[in-house]
Structure 1
Amino acid sequence: MNTLDLLQQRVADDLRLLGQPPENWVPDPMGTDHDVVVVGGGQSGVAAAFALARAGVTRTSVIESRPAAATGSWRAKARMLNLRTAKSNAGPDLDIPSLTFRAWYEAQHGRAAYDELPRIPTAEWASYLEWLREQAGIAVRFGVELLRIEPDAGVLRLHLRRGEARFTETTRKVVLATGIVGSGEPFIPQPVTEALPPTHYAHTDTPIDFAALAGRTVAVLGAGSAAFDAAATALEAGAAEVHLYCRHPRLAAASNMGTLKYMAAQENFANLADPLRWKLAWHFRERSPGPTPEVVARATRFDNFTLHLGAAGLSVGLDGGQVRLLSRGHELRADYLIAGTGYTCDLARRPELAAVAADIALWRDRYAIPEAERQRPNATYPYLGPGYQFQQREPGKAPWVENIYCFNFAAITSFGRHVGDVGSIRYGIPRLVSHLVKDLFLADLDHHVARLFAEVPDELQYAQYAHAVHTPASPATLQGDLS
């Protein structure tokens, strides 16, 4: 038996020692197909489903639009060699030691190999997540896409598609564990989309045929880690030249969000007053986090890589079938442009939310934003409840939106950090599941009150102790004894 088999035995034993997950306690008064549907089969979706099962919410279904081999971002589009988060960060293991990445990695490579890892390799993390999903027993319905959510007589009706087949299912709750793109869509500057045909550019969020860029000149817009990863991948694929454009005079040397690492801050950010949350959220994101030293070195080791700083006035055009870029008097003709320019938060842009987005409260709806700050991107992010649930734009008009839980990047203004990344799981999943359990319990309070007042069957029979019961003497016998 190999060491991974031994670890899997240990996992099974740990789960046994923790006790079997409780039986489902959630009644089904409305005849729904599910109590909870988790949208997204990546690390957040699997962790949420695992935690719900451990909490006795077993009528949970996880759907994922991609096939198993391309679930989440790690295999589908991640181009970094290693995770950006520290290897010590707890992930979707629910604090079960045998389910940690470290336990999985050491079982295959040994303790010394783990100790020598500066960061977790991306490919290893993707394989670990697949292993954890199997060990946790989470069944994901791959290839099922959520097309639309709509209210239906007190529940949520989900319009789904698998291949050519379209169908609907009902659920009481929906968890959107849809990652960074789940908040809206990739952002590509308008000058690019207006000047270039789609054949000449792509966003870092989308699949890119880097092999086709061998021998070509590539321009990259943006100076975050994703942009540098794309530049390095193109260079490694044999690009003739890669030019990366940063609008600032220097690369961002650090992230303001680096202060939001300790437990108390992450646990309590959502408890802060709105003015302070707003101020901090903007402080964290006033400038996007810069690239890590590792990803910068990966690109700059190539002599045919050029970094253009101070490119805020960059102009883009198409000339003779090539991309023409002009920055600070320097002209470049490139064969292809890659935009590593982030994402927009616009819930109406998400097909699954298009029918309900108008009823969801945004920060600009709930907080009196100072006049000078109303154009900040934070204003369009959803204003979430304490359990990541959407809130009604007009209280009382659409209570069903509070049955949709936004466990993705769009939660960043309400909760301070990138919800759904590795570092957020340890704190976010318990909060999410705690509120789901509370909401499900209180929604059926009459049922639970009746259950709590129900007659309890006798466990102890009188016959089991009758022989030991003291029988006092009769009064007549006592009088005779006293005389």
Structure 2
Amino acid sequence: MSRAARFLPPERDTKMSTLQQLQEDVERSFRWSAPLPPNWVPETPGADHDAVIVGGGQTGVAIVYGLRRLGITRVKAIDQAPEGEAGIWTTTARMNLLRTSKFLPGPEYGNPLLSFRAWFETQHGAAAFDALTRIARTDWAAYLAWYQRTVGVQVQHGTRLLDIEALENGLLRLHLEADGRLHTETTRKLVLATGFGGGGEDNIPAAIRALPKPLWAHTSEHIDFTLLKGKTVGIVGAGPSAFDAAGVALENGARAVHLFSRRGEIHHQPESPPGAAPGPFPPARQPGAMEHFHRLPDGVRWRYHLLGKGAGASTPIDSIDRATAFENFHIHLNTTARTLETDGDKVHIQIGDEPFALDFVIAGTGFRIDLASRPELSLIVDDIALWKDRYTPRPGEEYPEAGLYPYLGEGFEFTEKIPGQAPYLANIHCYNWAAALSSGKNLSDVPSMPELPRLLSGISRGLFFADLDHHADRITAKGGAGADPSVYAKAVWPLRRNTTAA
């Protein structure tokens, strides 16, 4: 065998599936990369884990793998959903295509063989990827399942976090419910990777909340759309989730769908043609701006968030086309459902002079941030600093809802409302939608993946400096026995001189 041939990858087995081939390539990339560091975090008496990740979706899995790559291995991930249903992609997400660019980085941490593109092109070819407008939701869900298996991250499903209790020794006692049984576990670090609703609750207009529950649902809930066949459905809201719900209802045979928007127009994204290269970033999302956003002055971050208040969520054109393709889909602009009345199993809404009778109402009205609404935070919420505790907006820039966002630190950790009163908060990292004001990004979605290294660094930094004495002793410890001089003794001068002269 030639010298060059020894470095060539082995020939492919034509009977091997394309994903098996990719799996071999990934494993080879792991072998060719530097070995993962061993765990360097010393065991802490009384601690079951060094970190617990609440959330087993795309973000939670990526966090566990990322910590392992840093040498932090005593980590546990939990999720209240059954296996296969963590996150939104197989449950409440209803879009046909992701709303973001196919070129965005995912959870691959710089290894292209772990990327969606590698997974997709291996099965369908480069031309198929080039032809994509955006990634299909079902493909993304399948990719994430493959990614989790490939990086070997385990998630304990069917486990709900009930309470967080701060202990005097600095640990966090987690009150958990798993398969109907209550128990506690302790951890040094806690990450709340709990998605869009993890920092608050569904934003439900009072008029809808007052209806009997069998007559309405929020888009974040599981909805059996087959039951809407032949029904007249009203959807309140005009963002992406509202249009996606409309599309699914129509595809399942709804008699009519009426979408009510309080705005005078539908805010939608311009569509790029299939195969188009990524377009230019908006000014606020330039790589430099987004990388350092969390270090911007509070006033700049506040004003950026305020800009989004009036813009509304942008809906992809394909989601709009999906619904408007049906002649029994109707958009009502400049409407507000202030009052809804029920008559038996009907919901009546008055729009101007025209009444509508609905069989079911869907609230596509997003989420609201309010840590006080999260039952698992009830024991600690009064200690957490909010933006209203740290920043007073200029006249004309008041935004009470934004004042309820947590004021986070460098590594997404909670900060103290009263300095020195709750140091344990530095060990709780809020990596969900509630971090949007502090970070400038809607964490938990695909575009926020580049923020993971900052979270991982914050966790690592906190663990390291909490054990500073241990690490200082280890770093400054004297080495073992000196090197054996016999290895080089024959060349030491003047012995070598005398030997040479002889």
Aligned mate of 1:323, from 343, 347, 369: 347
Q: Does 1:26 align with 2:47?
A: no
- After superposition, give the CA deviation of every residue in 1:417-442 in whole Å (9 maximum; x if it has no partner): 1111101112x111101111111111
- After superposition, give the CA deviation of every residue in 1:140-182 in whole Å (9 maximum; x if it has no partner): 1111111111101211000111112111100000011110010
- Contact 2:228–2:252, Cα closer than 8 Å, also in 1: yes
> Partner of 2:383 in structure 1?
359
RMSD: 1.8
> Partner of 2:414 in structure 1?
390
Structure 1 residue 312, shift from structure 2 partner:
2.9
Q: Does 1:159 align with 2:182?
A: no
> Partner of 1:433 in structure 2?
456
CA distance in 2 between counterparts of 1:69 and 1:157 reads 27
Structure 1 residue 374, shift from structure 2 partner:
4.0
Matches within 5 A, 1:76-475: 76-153=91-168, 154-194=170-210, 196-253=211-268, 258-312=282-336, 314-370=338-394, 372-426=396-450, 428-458=451-481, 460-471=483-494
Between 1:452-461 and 1:462-471, the stretch displaced more is 452-461
CA distance in 1 between counterparts of 2:44 and 2:244 reads 50
Say which SS state the counterpart of residue 119 (structure 1) adopts: coil
Say which SS state the counterpart of residue 68 (structure 1) adopts: coil
- Contact 2:306–2:397, Cα closer than 8 Å, also in 1: no
> Partner of 1:61 in structure 2?
76
CA distance in 1 between counterparts of 2:233 and 2:364 reads 13
CA distance in 2 between counterparts of 1:422 and 1:93 reads 12
Aligned mate of 2:54, from 39, 58, 65: 39
Between 1:79-88 and 1:287-296, the stretch displaced more is 287-296
Structure 1 residue 319, shift from structure 2 partner:
2.2
Is the alpha carbon distance of 1:459 and 1:135 closer, same or farther for their aligned partners in structure 2, counting shifts above 3 Å? farther
| Structure 1 gap segments, 5+ residues each | 478-483
> Partner of 1:481 in structure 2?
none
- After superposition, give the CA deviation of every residue in 1:67-99 in whole Å (9 maximum; x if it has no partner): 122110101211001100101111111111000
- After superposition, give the CA deviation of every residue in 1:116-158 in whole Å (9 maximum; x if it has no partner): 1111110110110011011111111111111111101211000
- After superposition, give the CA deviation of every residue in 1:433-452 in whole Å (9 maximum; x if it has no partner): 11111111111111000001
- Contact 2:267–2:314, Cα closer than 8 Å, also in 1: yes
CA distance in 2 between counterparts of 1:367 and 1:185 reads 23
AA aligned opposite 1:91? G
Structure 1 residue 292, shift from structure 2 partner:
1.2
> Partner of 2:276 in structure 1?
none
- After superposition, give the CA deviation of every residue in 1:294-346 in whole Å (9 maximum; x if it has no partner): 10000000000000001036531112431001112221000000000011111
> Partner of 1:5 in structure 2?
20
Between 1:304-313 and 1:236-245, the stretch displaced more is 304-313
Structure 1 residue 472, shift from structure 2 partner:
6.5
- Contact 1:183–1:408, Cα closer than 8 Å, also in 2: yes
Structure 1 residue 347, shift from structure 2 partner:
0.8
AA aligned opposite 2:171? V
- Contact 1:216–1:335, Cα closer than 8 Å, also in 2: yes
Aligned length, in residue pairs: 473
AA aligned opposite 1:464? V
- Contact 2:48–2:186, Cα closer than 8 Å, also in 1: yes
CA distance in 1 between counterparts of 2:176 and 2:24 reads 37
Between 1:410-419 and 1:374-383, the stretch displaced more is 374-383
Say which SS state the counterpart of residue 11 (structure 1) adopts: helix
CA distance in 2 between counterparts of 1:36 and 1:390 reads 15
Is the alpha carbon distance of 1:100 and 1:247 closer, same or farther for their aligned partners in structure 2, counting shifts above 3 Å? same
Say which SS state the counterpart of residue 456 (structure 2) adopts: helix
Say which SS state the counterpart of residue 436 (structure 2) adopts: helix
Say which SS state the counterpart of residue 180 (structure 1) adopts: coil
TM-score, structure 1 as length reference? 0.95
CA distance in 2 between counterparts of 1:297 and 1:254 reads 12
